[in-house]
Amino acid sequence: MRLVTSAEEAVASIRAFQQAVDDSQALQERTGYARSWFVLTEAGRSIYAPSKWVGYVGLSADDYVTNAAKLDGRKTEAVLRNWFVVLPTGSEQHATHLRALSDTLARFGKTPSTECRFNDLAVPMEAEAMGGAEDRLLDLLEAVIGGLPGDARARLLKRLR
């Protein structure tokens, strides 16, 4: 199994997870255990995939379930940091994604881990690969700034002026 080497491969993995999880009960059973979720928002709709799926190229549901113990979240998180940022817990975006992921997993009778965190794409993608990248980046910056303590937020905004 090969780790992803580009944002495009990571995005393709997120998309592939959506199809795989809909088709695999064994994969659905594992969704409640994932702590680190990666978000892809396109056309106003967010989809999610766990880091151990996103970080590897071309996984199938069988690969993921069979090799779960061999998949290394530390390695995937390290490589995915190149293109994604963690949304601050308690931020409006984190809360929005938690509600949406909860709704998604409820279809399988599952709930997100209480320690779940979200990672949002932080690099602009080609327009054909990712619609509205600038708006998404601005949304991400807004969420990060909104998660800062008041004094840090004020200092940052002053520096940006």
The model's pLDDT over 104-141, given as tens digits with 9 standing for 90+, comes to: 999 999 999 989 999 999 876 554 344 455 666 777 77
Whether 9 has a pLDDT exceeding 50, the answer reads yes
Question: What are the extents of the domains in the chain?
Answer: 7-160
> What's the chain look like in SS3?
CCECCCHHHHHHHHHHHHHHHHHCHHHHHHHHHCCEEEEEEECCEEEEEEHHHHCECCCCHHHHHHCCCCCCHHHHHHHHCCCEEECCCCCHHHHHHHHHHHHHHHCCCCCCCCCCEEEEECCCCCCCCCCCHHHHHHHHHHHHHHCCCHHHHHHHHHHHC
pLDDT the model gives residue 136 = 67
pLDDT tens-place string over residues 33-70: 999 999 998 888 899 999 999 999 999 999 999 988 88
